[in-house]
Structure 1
Amino acid sequence: MEVSGYCAPGFESIYRAFADNFRERGDTGAALAVRQYGETIVSLWAGSSDRQGQTAFTEDTIANVFSSSKGVLALLALQQVAEGKLELDRPVADYWPEFGEKGKAQITLRQLLSHRAGVVAFQEKVADELIYDWDAACAQVAASEPWWAPGSRQGYAPFLYGWSVGGLLERATSTPVTELYRQFLAAPLELHGGFGAVGHRSAQVADVGPLKKPLPELRENAISRAIKADRSSAVAMAFSNPVSLVMGTNSREWREAVIPAANGHFSALDLAVIYGELAREDANILPRELIVEAASEQSSGHDAVLQAEVSFGCGFIRSGTAADLRFGGPAGFGHPGAGGSVGFADPERELGFGYVSTRLGQSLFMDRRAVSLLEQLYGML
């Protein structure tokens, strides 16, 4: 496997660790990037970006990173807090009156970002096409009833998070989410991708598909067991209502839609740049006090949807002790995505990390590919 790209002096062994993911762990197209102190110290890519193996993966290839998209959306929300357009502890309904229906009148942005709002899934069956219609999806979220009293439990919102936070952003700023992203992140940071897969700086879009051979798990993924136990539970509905949430990837409809909790298409370098900026002592994309909010614990414990122990900041998962949630040091924060992608910031080392792949694993958080790269990297820092 030919690996292209760059490693700063002293980091050459990352080449081997990255290549090992192709030789030993099923990668067929992937990229890794690391930024430290505002400079790129690693940017590697290899393999192909299409299912036929005809198109080479490049540094600017964007791939669906699934829930890694949530960290980017959270950053946009925090930027609007900095702009004075939003307040973390003000009710969402103050900006978006329709959202206040059915017991949601007092839900705040902070609760949405830290997965304590109870708005985790549609309770009534919805049409498969709904997720491709931004206005209809936001309206459906606004009309939804929480699964439990807001603030009483932690429950991850795999998809509704995007329409809840994104819908709030649009109503508070009178600006589409895609335009906010362009103004506040894509243009100043010269990012390759964004929400959806079209209209971005890069037109090199990767096809994604499952790993041909599943990797050994780093922890039990209890979600499948919970879904089988109760097909009408919050867990089951969060991941399968509608089924197009998990069946639409690679389709034209999916790529053209804005589903900001799950269909962000970014390069590894995009994620490293975003998180590298958040990790810097002199960060200018977000005031220091809001970076502290992003990284500080807002909610922790057994998550009612993820069926695992998780600690959330404002829109980000906080670094833990388990290998699949160890984002550098204890102050790290970021967001993994279904299939194996991940982006995170390590403020102690002023480092940002990004990894994307065309081959999707089944791990709940990071899988052995990203973990092996992290272990190699931190062994040299």
Structure 2
Amino acid sequence: MDINGYCAPGFEALFDVFATNFRDHGDVGAAFCAVQHGEVVASLWAGAEDRAGERAFAEETLVNVFSSSKGVLALLALQQVAAGSLDLDKPVAYYWPEFGAAGKQEITGRQLLCHRAGTIAFRERVPDSLIYDWPAALDKVAATEPWWQPGTEQGYAPFLYGWTLGGLIEKASGVPLMTLYRRMLAEPLQLDGGFGAVGHRSRAIADVGPLKKPLPELRDNAIGRSIKEDRKGPVATAFTNPVTLMMGTNGEEWRGALIPAANGHFSARDLATVYGDLAAEAPALLPREVLREATTEQSRAQDRILQAEVAFGCGFILSGAARDLHFGSAAGFGHPGAGGSIGFGDPDSGIGFGYVTSRMGQSLFMDQRAIGLVECLYRLI
């Protein structure tokens, strides 16, 4: 396997770890990028974009990073806080009156960001086509009843997070979400991708699929067990209503839709660039005081949906002691995505980290591929 790219002097060991992911851990097309204090210390890519192996993976190849999209969406919300357009402690209904229906009148933006709103899934079965219709999805979210009393429990919202927070951002700013993304992030940082896969700087898109051989699990698959035990419970409903949420991720409808909790298509360079800025001493994207609040623990609990202890800031998962949640240091923050992609920032070392892969593992957070790169990188800095 030919490894393409660059490692700064002293970081050459990352070549070998990245190559190991292809040789031993099942990668077929992947990329990795790390930025320190604004300088790229490694940008590596290898393999193929497509299942037939005919299109070479490139540095700008976009990969569906699933929930790693949530960190980028949260950043757009935080930028509205910095602009004075959004107060996280005001009810969402202050900006979006329709959202106050069905017992949601007191839910705040802060509760949405740290997964304490109770809006983890649609209550009743919704049509498969709903996820491709942004206005209809917002209307449905606004009418949905929480699964428990808002503010009382932590429950991760795998997909509704994108519509609830995305709708709030649009209502508070008065600007369509995609326009805001391009204006505030894509154009200033020259990012390759964004939400959905089309209309971005890069047109190179990887097909995603499962790893042929599962990697060793780092923790018990409690989510899978919960889904099997209660097909109508909150965990199963959060991930499978509608069933199109688990299907068709290489199709044109999915790639052309706005599903900002799950269909962000980014390059590894994108994620490292965004988090590299946030990890800098003087971030360009957010004032220090807003970022400090966003990366301060807002909620820590045995999450009712993830079935694991997780600490959230405002939109970011905070670094923990477990290897699959350790983002460089105790100060790290970011967001992993289903399958193995990850973006995080570490202000203690000035690191922005991005890893994207077209072959999806089954781990809840990071798996051995990203962990190997993280641990090697931190041995070298």
Q: TM-score, normalised by structure 1?
A: 1.00
Match of 1:349 in 2: 349
Matched, 1:12 2:6: no
Match of 1:298 in 2: 298
Matched to 1:158, the amino acid is: P
Match of 1:110 in 2: 110
Cα deviation, residue 63, structure 1: 0.4
Matched, 1:234 2:234: yes
> Take 1:221 and 1:188, find their aligned partners in 2: how far apart are those partners?
40
> Take 1:50 and 1:302, find their aligned partners in 2: how far apart are those partners?
38
Cα deviation, residue 241, structure 1: 0.3
Paired residues for 1:158-307 under 5 Å: 158-307=158-307
> Take 1:223 and 1:274, find their aligned partners in 2: how far apart are those partners?
30
> Take 2:282 and 2:81, find their aligned partners in 1: how far apart are those partners?
19
User: What are the superposed Cα offsets for residues 172-231 of structure 1, whole Å, 9 maximum, x if unpaired?
Assistant: 112111111000000000000000000000000110000000000011120011111111
Cα deviation, residue 62, structure 1: 0.5
> Take 1:146 and 1:235, find their aligned partners in 2: how far apart are those partners?
14
Match of 1:59 in 2: 59
Matched to 1:238, the amino acid is: A
Structure 2 unmatched runs, 5+: none
> Take 1:13 and 1:350, find their aligned partners in 2: how far apart are those partners?
20
Match of 1:120 in 2: 120
SS at match of 1:289: helix
Cα deviation, residue 373, structure 1: 0.7
Match of 1:92 in 2: 92
> Take 2:302 and 2:221, find their aligned partners in 1: how far apart are those partners?
13
SS at match of 1:226: helix
> Take 1:15 and 1:360, find their aligned partners in 2: how far apart are those partners?
21
- Where do 4+ consecutive residues of structure 1 move more than 6 Å? none
> Take 1:228 and 1:14, find their aligned partners in 2: how far apart are those partners?
39
Deviates more, 1:88-97 or 1:165-174: 165-174
> Take 1:113 and 1:145, find their aligned partners in 2: how far apart are those partners?
18
Match of 1:26 in 2: 26
Matched to 1:212, the amino acid is: K
User: What are the superposed Cα offsets for residues 82-101 of structure 1, whole Å, 9 maximum, x if unpaired?
Assistant: 11110110100000000000
Cα deviation, residue 34, structure 1: 0.3
User: What are the superposed Cα offsets for residues 104-139 of structure 1, whole Å, 9 maximum, x if unpaired?
Assistant: 001011000000000000010000000000000111
> Take 2:102 and 2:289, find their aligned partners in 1: how far apart are those partners?
33
Cα deviation, residue 306, structure 1: 0.3
Match of 1:149 in 2: 149
Cα deviation, residue 369, structure 1: 0.4
> Take 2:277 and 2:68, find their aligned partners in 1: how far apart are those partners?
16
> Take 2:348 and 2:172, find their aligned partners in 1: how far apart are those partners?
34
Match of 1:327 in 2: 327
Q: How many residues align?
A: 381
> Take 2:200 and 2:87, find their aligned partners in 1: how far apart are those partners?
29
SS at match of 1:379: helix
Matched to 1:128, the amino acid is: D
Matched to 1:71, the amino acid is: G
Matched to 1:261, the amino acid is: A
> Take 1:375 and 1:39, find their aligned partners in 2: how far apart are those partners?
19
> Take 2:107 and 2:293, find their aligned partners in 1: how far apart are those partners?
18
Identity of aligned residues (%): 66
SS at match of 2:353: strand
Cα deviation, residue 293, structure 1: 1.5
Cα deviation, residue 329, structure 1: 0.2
Match of 1:69 in 2: 69
Cα deviation, residue 284, structure 1: 1.4
SS at match of 1:355: strand
Matched to 2:59, the amino acid is: E
User: What are the superposed Cα offsets for residues 212-257 of structure 1, whole Å, 9 maximum, x if unpaired?
Assistant: 0000001112001111111111101000000000102001000000
> Take 1:40 and 1:101, find their aligned partners in 2: how far apart are those partners?
47
Cα deviation, residue 143, structure 1: 0.3
> Take 2:361 and 2:180, find their aligned partners in 1: how far apart are those partners?
31
Cα deviation, residue 294, structure 1: 1.6
Matched to 1:209, the amino acid is: G
